[in-house]
Structure 1
């Protein structure tokens, strides 16, 4: 089914970006995985920026050869990068998730200060949503974003965790609640916070079983202050900004899942055709060809669902209208990635558990994050069902 929904131009772009990543990312993938080499990550990010690939989502800022660049091409980039190294792809996907609200909702001076350096590959962005008591339930955030009329500043107090690019990002999109004078429920507000803002701190980074080379940690705000012009959109519009960002992020995660799944499938396919047991190639065994067939059809289904969502977005669909399709892309592709890496390890047997016989064990560790980040599988199922059961208010 390879690239069934993609045009000839899309397919040519895939070949182009695949060759680029083979030149720039593949030689550095081992350093990113084994030594968690941030310099290697930054080198490839800069190369992507200089080549114009970080501008794919922003047609008004794009300077390449594509006639209509968009989410489809950003997702192709995500897929091809994840097939080589998912940890690296997480870094650029997070930076683009930061660039997305800056492009749509920041003032012109703010875009010049923070968006352009990200798109050029000279800066890294981060998104601050998750808190100790708040994951998918973003409405229960405890972080406060309050306006100080005396100094004409926004003041942020709170604590965020599981933040990709924490401590190494140059700018952070921070979501927090703003109390209302009328006593009504507080609303979510979004602000851009530079890394050197007074009151921002980075207590620690985490050690994960997978995605080695992707820096993830905590961000603390203690009377952190930014000037009033660092507001994104208007006060209280943060939830709508976040929803648009999540649609974008979940489609991109569809590409991430596809890249990991495809990589695992290729390892398993080659092994099944070269390894002999009891006088036959492994792929001749019924239980093995069943695994190969299941991996194959799941990847095709994930591809169709993912690129349906990106094509819908590029055709102008967004917000609530795209929520279900973006959620389905994320759900199906990331669950497929986990299925495929599990089966690949099983097909390879002992070889699948070692670093000495390939990277299947790395794919296995990396894939596990995919069904959690950007909204758990359980949460995106809720989003899908809420569209299909419009007359009910589903109790989470």
Structure 2
């Protein structure tokens, strides 16, 4: 039996959300992939919000039937959504990554203004960290956030790229250096920037090989001004807020990778069980069942690591004590997605690289982003090694 770490309530929730997405997302998945139909994305986001599923991470706001909602259930949601369409899952995962610091660090007024619409499905959010010279090395951030004492406003200047939901979001959480005279880890802050703020612009969106329908682009901030209350937490707390968001994001990405891997695996099994070659079912051939067996154990390993991390988070663990487990979940699940999508295409042969014969080629294109987004596989290995050898600092 799979889902070893899940309770009966968790399994019932999986069945419920699978049925929901089967009604709301599955009929629109092709339009999202083929036509990059943003209206189709919005319709499903709105349905998720109306059903209360966007509140799974926030126990004080959730009013559904689950006794202890949490990251476990948000991860199940991401897994089931990614199974059907990873581009759509990226959109909601990014919105939740924006909601996470708003919920924990924003003032009540800012939460009501920006968090509530996201959780109700009527608004979208983005997080703005990555820059041309800043990926995993967030301490090298060049975006500047200064406080104008006269107007009591935060002024932001900078350039961000690879921002999911860029041009489509209603609010952007922007990280930047607010005190350049101290170490970046102590001088970084985060602010909420509404989409209609003067000085906020979007130079271009990117054309990716996969994740069609997920809008990703660049964000420029030139003299952007937001009220004092738009600061998240206190000045200089941005790096700490970022670290907390990373654990959350990596576990969610574990669910994303699982969903993509499972989707590929199901296609591979169906093909191996029905395709005949040289007088036998394809699945009877050693080279094929070797691939199927390896996909199976990789998926089980990824699932165990992902839901272990989710359950640890829901039990109250976070920060450095969860860093290793979250990194392992993200690393193994996303690499498993790439492995399974590649083997599925190989098992299917020419059918696997042709749109006319199903989704294998789409999944193959989609999966390749997973070991890069949210921190590369190499960065995940660094975090794991750093926790395993605390007396030695690995050389990046």
Q: Normalized against structure 1, the TM-score is what?
A: 0.99
State the partner residue of 1:179.
Answer: 179
TM-aligned CA deviation for residue 323 of structure 1: 0.6
State the partner residue of 2:333.
Answer: 333
1:44-193 pair list within 5 angstroms: 44-180=44-180, 183-186=181-184, 187-193=187-193
Are the aligned partners of 2:31 and 2:40 in contact in 1 as well (CA < 8 Å)? yes
State the partner residue of 2:356.
Answer: 356
TM-aligned CA deviation for residue 330 of structure 1: 0.2
CA distance in 1, matches of 2:380, 2:189: 23
CA distance in 2, matches of 1:179, 1:387: 29
Are the aligned partners of 2:202 and 2:218 in contact in 1 as well (CA < 8 Å)? yes
TM-aligned CA deviation for residue 179 of structure 1: 2.3
Name the SS for the 2:346 alignment partner. helix
Name the SS for the 1:254 alignment partner. helix
Cα deviation digits, residues 177-208 of structure 1 (max 9, x gap): 1125xx33341100000001111111110000
TM-aligned CA deviation for residue 83 of structure 1: 0.2
Name the SS for the 2:220 alignment partner. strand
CA distance in 1, matches of 2:343, 2:38: 31
Cα deviation digits, residues 132-176 of structure 1 (max 9, x gap): 010000000000011111110000000000000001000000000
| Matched residue count | 394
TM-aligned CA deviation for residue 393 of structure 1: 1.6
1:216 aligns with 2:216: yes
TM-aligned CA deviation for residue 3 of structure 1: 1.3
Structure 1: gaps (5+ residues): none
Are the aligned partners of 2:179 and 2:236 in contact in 1 as well (CA < 8 Å)? no
Cα deviation digits, residues 34-56 of structure 1 (max 9, x gap): 00000000000000000000000
TM-aligned CA deviation for residue 103 of structure 1: 0.2
Name the SS for the 2:130 alignment partner. coil
CA distance in 2, matches of 1:301, 1:179: 43
CA distance in 2, matches of 1:283, 1:313: 39
State the partner residue of 1:239.
Answer: 239
CA distance in 1, matches of 2:183, 2:90: 34
Name the SS for the 1:291 alignment partner. helix
Is 331-340 or 186-195 further displaced after alignment?
186-195
Name the SS for the 1:369 alignment partner. coil
Structure 2: gaps (5+ residues): none
Q: Normalized against structure 2, the TM-score is what?
A: 0.99
Cα deviation digits, residues 331-360 of structure 1 (max 9, x gap): 000000000000000000000001100000
TM-aligned CA deviation for residue 289 of structure 1: 0.3
1:28 aligns with 2:32: no
Q: Could you say what the CA RMSD is over the residues aligned between the two structures, in angstroms?
A: 0.6
Name the SS for the 1:174 alignment partner. strand
Cα deviation digits, residues 349-390 of structure 1 (max 9, x gap): 000001100000000000000000000000010000000010
Are the aligned partners of 2:56 and 2:74 in contact in 1 as well (CA < 8 Å)? yes
